[in-house]
């Protein structure tokens, strides 16, 4: 594969892996430079006792816990984030944020941390990409799902409840300082969430690979993640208590996160964002439903990349990369069927009446810019939706 003439790659996050590393959060927060912490999580994680473990570890390290907020919904809104910021400010503020949860918790925390560091109104003052010019207060992220990669990415996706759209905020300074990958905190994730978030990670890796702005560093990471996900996602779905499979998926998800936050994504994510905003389909599942169809749509424009992806999934090279790439798409379908996820939009409540709205919203999504094949108009998106219906 030819080298790009020029590229940049960066990773701003210290990554720690190991069973039981959750209890090192206090020491890590101290190293990152915090003295007053806001803990952000959701009800499920709070009930499992993990937020308490985090609070105790922080206090043991001499860090004051200003507040533990445990009410983050599946899709956070700007209003919720603004309110949380105002509430913490009334308590004297916090100089470090610790997030423990899935993608929504991590993204919410990134945006609360932005407000605690810079002040202002999230939508009026901070909406956009690459606006941030200096580091924010430190943040520690502990993912409890293996998929979003938010523990290392530069982005936060927030729901605009009035426009029924997902809004992306992007800056390298949003990446957490430290990511703690403790497989123990993912052991109780149910099979459906394991499958959906795992397919989000696979989509990140494949889209990083086929991206128009891909480069060799993120390609290598993406291929490594594809290999791990293909082998271990079915195991993690089938046997949630398998620590090896959980660990492999956590690491694969983080690796894919580092890859796509550098390379960006493409048409699969563009459509998934719209399906999420308009039909309420969870992000990973939306990606999984669209991935094989979008790969077919892109096939001629990134044959070599899809052949590489196929080899990472165990396809034996035949000497014909185009044929191998097609076999690779079949392998993706095979993996989806092993996860037991629905494979049709009609099965998850998407209606044909929503196609026009989904397609028009997709045409405005920034992820389209880096898709390997230019999407000419919204009719092409409708055709893809019909195939996936």
Question: What are the residues binding Fe ion (CB under 5 A)?
Answer: 200
First CA to last CA distance, the chain: 35
Pick from 146, 106, 100: which is nearest to 245 by CA? 146
Give yes or no for a contact between 235 and 338, defined as CB atoms under 8 angstroms apart: no
Nearest distance from C-beta of residue 199 to Fe ion, angstroms = 9
CB of 38 or CB of 270, closer to Fe ion: 270
Nearest distance from C-beta of residue 205 to Fe ion, angstroms = 10
CB of 26 or CB of 372, closer to Fe ion: 372
Nearest distance from C-beta of residue 83 to Fe ion, angstroms = 26
Nearest distance from C-beta of residue 103 to Fe ion, angstroms = 8
Nearest distance from C-beta of residue 200 to Fe ion, angstroms = 4
Nearest distance from C-beta of residue 104 to Fe ion, angstroms = 12
Nearest distance from C-beta of residue 207 to Fe ion, angstroms = 8
Nearest distance from C-beta of residue 284 to Fe ion, angstroms = 7
Please tell me the distance from the alpha carbon of residue 34 to that of residue 111, in angstroms, as a whole number: 17
Nearest distance from C-beta of residue 152 to Fe ion, angstroms = 13
As a three-state string, the secondary structure of the chain is CCCCCCCCCCCCCEEEECCCHHHHHHHHHHHHCCCEEEEECCHHHHHCCHHHHHHHHHHHCCCEEEEEECCCCCCCEHHHHHHHHHHHHHCCCCCEEEEEECHHHHHHHHHHHHHHHHCCCHHHHHCCECCCCCCCCCEEEEECCCCCCCCCCCEEEEEECCCCEEEEEECHHHCCCEEEECHHHHCCCCHHHHHHHHHHHHHHHHHHHHCCCCCHHHHHHHHHHHHHHHHHHHHHHHCCCCHHHHHHHHHHHHHHHHHHHHHCCCHHHHHHHHHHHHHCCCHHHHHHHHHHHHHHHHHHHCHHHHHHHHHHCCCCCCCCHHHHHHHHHHHHHHHHHHHCCCCCHHHHCCCHHHHHHHHHHHHCCHHHHHCCCCCCCHHHHHHHHHHHC
CB of 94 or CB of 259, closer to Fe ion: 259
CB of 138 or CB of 284, closer to Fe ion: 284
CB of 202 or CB of 245, closer to Fe ion: 202
CB of 103 or CB of 183, closer to Fe ion: 103
CB of 200 or CB of 326, closer to Fe ion: 200
∠ CA 276-44-175, rounded to 5°: 60
Residue nearest to Fe ion (CB): 200
């Amino acid at each position: 594969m030819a080298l790009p003439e020029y590229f940049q790659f960066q990773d701003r996050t210290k990554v720690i892996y190991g069973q039981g590393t959750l209890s090192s959060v206090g020491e890590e927060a101290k190293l990152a430079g915090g003295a007053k912490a806001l803990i952000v999580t959701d009800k499920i994680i709070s009930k499992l006792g993990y937020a308490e473990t985090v609070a105790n570890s922080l206090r043991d390290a001499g860090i004051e816990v200003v507040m533990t907020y445990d009410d983050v919904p599946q899709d956070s809104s700007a209003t919720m984030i603004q309110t949380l910021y105002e509430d913490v400010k009334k308590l004297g503020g916090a100089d470090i944020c610790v997030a423990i949860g899935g993608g929504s918790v991590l993204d919410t925390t990134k945006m609360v941390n932005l407000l605690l560091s810079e002040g202002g109104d999230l939508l009026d003052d901070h909406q956009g990409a690459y606006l941030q010019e200096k580091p924010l207060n430190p943040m520690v992220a502990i993912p409890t799902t293996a998929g979003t990669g938010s523990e290392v990415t530069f982005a936060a996706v927030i729901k605009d409840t009035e426009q029924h759209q997902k809004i992306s905020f992007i800056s390298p300074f949003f990446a957490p300082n430290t990511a703690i990958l403790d497989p123990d905190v993912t052991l109780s994730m149910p099979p459906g969430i394991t499958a959906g978030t795992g397919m989000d990670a696979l989509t990140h890796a494949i889209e990083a690979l086929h991206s128009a702005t891909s480069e060799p560093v993120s390609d290598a990471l993406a291929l490594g993640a594809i290999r791990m996900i293909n082998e271990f996602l079915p195991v993690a779905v089938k046997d949630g208590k398998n620590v090896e499979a959980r660990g492999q998926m956590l690491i694969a998800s983080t690796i894919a996160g580092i890859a796509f936050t550098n390379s960006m994504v493409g048409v699969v994510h563009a459509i998934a964002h719209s399906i999420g905003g308009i039909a309420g389909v969870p992000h990973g599942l939306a990606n999984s439903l669209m991935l094989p169809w979008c790969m077919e749509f892109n096939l001629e424009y990134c044959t070599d990349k899809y052949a590489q992806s196929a080899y990472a999934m165990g396809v034996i090279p035949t000497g014909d990369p185009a044929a191998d790439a097609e076999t690779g798409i079949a392998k993706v379908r095979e993996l989806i069927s092993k996860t037991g996820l629905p494979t049709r939009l009609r099965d998850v409540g998407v209606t044909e009446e929503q196609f026009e709205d989904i397609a028009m919203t997709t045409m405005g999504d920034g992820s389209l810019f880096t898709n390997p094949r230019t999407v000419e108009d919204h009719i092409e998106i409708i055709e893809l939706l019909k195939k996936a219906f």
